[in-house]
Amino acid sequence: MDARAMTRETVADGIERLMELNPLPALFYCTLVIVYKKYPSLDSFLGNIVQKVIAKDLSSRDEITRKAFYRALNSLKTVAYSEDIVRILPQFILKAAHQNSVGLVFKRLLTSRNVDTGEPTLTTPDLIYEYHKVQPSTPEEFEVQTANLRELMDARAMTRETVADGIERLMELNPLPALFYCTLVIVYKKYPSLDSFLGNIVQKVIAKDLSSRDEITRKAFYRALNSLKTVAYSKERRERDSR
């Protein structure tokens, strides 16, 4: 990339040609990072390339290529927008081939900032909301999604306040997904001081009609209710005592 014949235009043309390869080799992702550092003015072009790459199915890639892709994605976070990652979130969190990189994806989403404003491109409540909108198609995928939920909740950006905001947003979903009930249990164990807040949430959930829910969701609800019975019943007692 330091050869005299290399110019911004010829490098861009070369990358465009590389996009014809199927599958894209691991070296391609290393090239994107080098080009980004050498030609900052190509940021818009590289942003488009990253979006095209993200749109491809990566499930068939070997481990070396996947690692190169994730490293490049992290290095190019100023040109690869969080909206693009959110769009392919199901591919990352539900596919067994990507499980070693789920934590990196969460970190990438929670640390990315808008180049112009410096504001986060995706807030913690936003990510919680988007994560719960992912719909697993099998019980096995639901188990994978639940396991990754714990990693999401352990992210540094997660605080008591942002998690509570995320749960409030999730109450907008209709129907509430099975994962929501798993989240309540995890949050209760991680943030005991949210017991009153969770008590209110449980009461709102109980008031909803669950008859139309699928079996997985109903089971998740009853498991959560059993785990959260302390805050649920405490809420009821407080209401009775205040009358």
Residue where one domain finishes, among candidates 79, 110, 133: 79
Read off the pLDDT band of 241 (50, 70, 90).
very low
Contacts for 168-172: CB closer than 8 Å, 24+ residues apart: 168/125, 169/125, 169/128, 169/129, 170/128, 170/129, 170/132, 171/201, 171/204
pLDDT at 237: 45
pTM exceeds 0.85 for this model: no
Per-residue pLDDT tens for 58-75?
Answer: 555 787 887 788 778 767
Same domain, 153 and 96: yes
Burial class for 232, CB neighbours closer than 10 Å (0-12, 13-18, 19+) = buried
pLDDT at 240: 45
Same domain, 125 and 165: no
Specify if 41 maps to a domain.
yes
pLDDT at 230 over 80: no
Are 35 and 46 in contact, with CB atoms under 8 Å apart? yes
User: Under 8 Å CB-to-CB from 203, ≥6 apart: which residues?
Assistant: 232, 235, 236
Q: What is the dihedral of CA 98, 101, 103, 107, to 10 degrees?
A: -120
Q: Supply the range of the domain harboring residue 44.
A: 8-79
Same domain, 75 and 111: no
Are 40 and 51 in contact, with CB atoms under 8 Å apart? no
Specify if 1 maps to a domain.
no
Q: How many domains does the chain have?
A: 3
Per-residue pLDDT tens for 123-144?
Answer: 899 899 999 999 888 888 888 8
Residue-averaged pLDDT of the chain: 81
Partners of 120 in the beta sheet? 113
Same domain, 154 and 164: no
Tell me which of 25-29, 88-92, 204-208 is least confident: 88-92
Same domain, 98 and 113: yes
Per-residue pLDDT tens for 159-212?
Answer: 999 999 999 999 999 889 999 999 999 999 999 899 889 988 988 888 876 555
Are 109 and 69 in contact, with CB atoms under 8 Å apart? no
Q: What is the mean pLDDT of residues 206-234?
A: 76
